[in-house]
Structure 1
Amino acid sequence: MQHPEFTNWHKSNHSDDGGCVEIAYADGLIGVRDSKDPAGPILTFNRHEWNAFTAGIVDGTLTPEG
């Protein structure tokens, strides 16, 4: 389901040819989607959730295998 409030999608600077994500901001929320499937699911985070998510990636507590 597409979230119409997310309209200005930007590809991550950390994306490569095999794993691309896009992010967009709207009404205090951050949306994340697969750039190869723009009509697919969107993960939605509030600012607190986004900060925890990205901190977990940076410090290694959140990994693709975990």
Structure 2
Amino acid sequence: MNKDTVKGEWKQLSGKIKQKWGELTDDDLKQAEGNQEHLLGKLQEKYGLAKEKAKEQLKDLGFH
């Protein structure tokens, strides 16, 4: 998979993430850009989700 494909997929996924978790800012998503651990940390911080619950919800959105 090339770099442009990954960026395109991240754009689509970040849109879904922002719809589900509106408190995440564009900066939060830019910092996470494909980094699951960073994104999980933000979800835990802003929504109080347990790591496993956040991971499960991300997987449901298509984040691997």
Return the TM-score normalized by structure 1: 0.25
**Higher-Rg member (1/2):** 1
Q: Could you say which structure has the greater relative contact order, defined with CA pairs below 8 angstroms and 6 or more residues apart?
A: 2
Return the TM-score normalized by structure 2: 0.26
Higher helix share: 2
Higher strand share: 1
